[in-house]
Amino acid sequence: MKLLIIIFFVTIKLFALDITPYFSKTTGAYYKGGVDRVIIKDIDQAKEQIEMAMYYLTNKEITKALIDAHKRGVKVKIFTDDKKVRSQRYRYLASEGIDIRNDKKTQSIMHNKFLVIDQKLVWISSANYTVYSFYRNYDNFIRIKDRNIARYYSKKFDSLFYRYRFIHRPYRESNVVIYFSPEHNFKKELLKEISKAKSSIKFLAFAFTDRDIAYALIQAQKRGVKIQGVYDEAQNDYQQYSTYKMLKNHRMAVKLDKNRYKLHSKVFIIDKKMVITGSYNFTKSANNVNAENSIVIKDRKIAQKYLKRFKEIYR
């Protein structure tokens, strides 16, 4: 019987930060009760500007909310991939007068998925803003209400939109660190966190082909760290260099997801107290070529929410 998962969330305050994790629905009617409804509410409350870096958009209700914001005078800017800019929703937004630009890079992917509202609120996700991302895939979302973080993402958006080099260092505040690829060599940081794990590592992976990360997990297991992971089955079948069999051959507790749609999350949960997520698939292209963003949150309460989601998928 297919696992039934409904949306749930919890708001956690890290010092001055207001962070709320959300998870997609996988059953029920489309456009009812999903995380998109919360995102639309935030878009509807925007007063000055909306900056969205998004690989793919098919959600008609988010599209409508962006147009409504534009019509009431909010400055709406969208940045996407050169191959996706010609898709239906983006063409429709452009026809309504919204400024949409693309990376114009045929050899790489603008894979970011973030939304900044009024430089005070940020949405980060593993998910594109498609219908399935909110209502069928396994995806995860993080809402952060913090001006410093919002401004940091806004600066990154400007560097993409206006095509200048992003030279800022990774963002660090209290228990949150934010990285952009390829500028920050995020893989180095991920490997460092894996090497410091003491008791457990759990991961959810859409695409996982990077052998360096796989070797780091093998070494962690050798020193006694308990590792569990779930791969997207269709992506594993598609990827010639998927690390699934490699880890399975090392008797690691990894599984293939049985959701008929996608396990699209990109998550590491380390020692039940750290969550690493974002748009970054665990591939060399994500680190060296594609435009990605990743966030590290060190907080047990948020980690517990991700562990609950992980366990539901793993079962």
Q: Is 271 a catalytic residue?
A: yes
- Whole-number Å distance between alpha carbons of 14 and 225: 27
Q: Which of 9, 5, 8 is nearest to 28 (CA)?
A: 5
Angle, vertex CA 194, rays to CA 188 and CA 195, nearest 5: 90
- Whole-number Å distance between alpha carbons of 186 and 193: 11
Angle, vertex CA 295, rays to CA 271 and CA 47, nearest 5: 140
278's tokens = 């974002």
- Whole-number Å distance between alpha carbons of 206 and 242: 10
Active-site residue identified among 77, 187, 264, 298: 264
Query: Rounded to whole angstroms, what are the CA distances from 275 to 21, 51, 91, 209, 299?
Result: 11, 25, 36, 20, 8
Active-site residue identified among 118, 271, 272, 273: 271
Listed in sequence order, the residues at least 6 apart from 273 whose beta carbon sits closer than 8 Å to its beta carbon are: 298, 299, 300, 303
Active-site residue identified among 266, 298, 299, 305: 266
Q: Is 146 a catalytic residue?
A: no
- Three-class secondary structure assignment of 228-290: EEEECHHHHHHCCCCCHHHHHHCCCEEEECCCCCCECCEEEEECCCEEEEECCCECHHHHHCC
125's tokens = 């996700």
Q: Is 266 a catalytic residue?
A: yes
Active-site positions read: 264, 266, 271
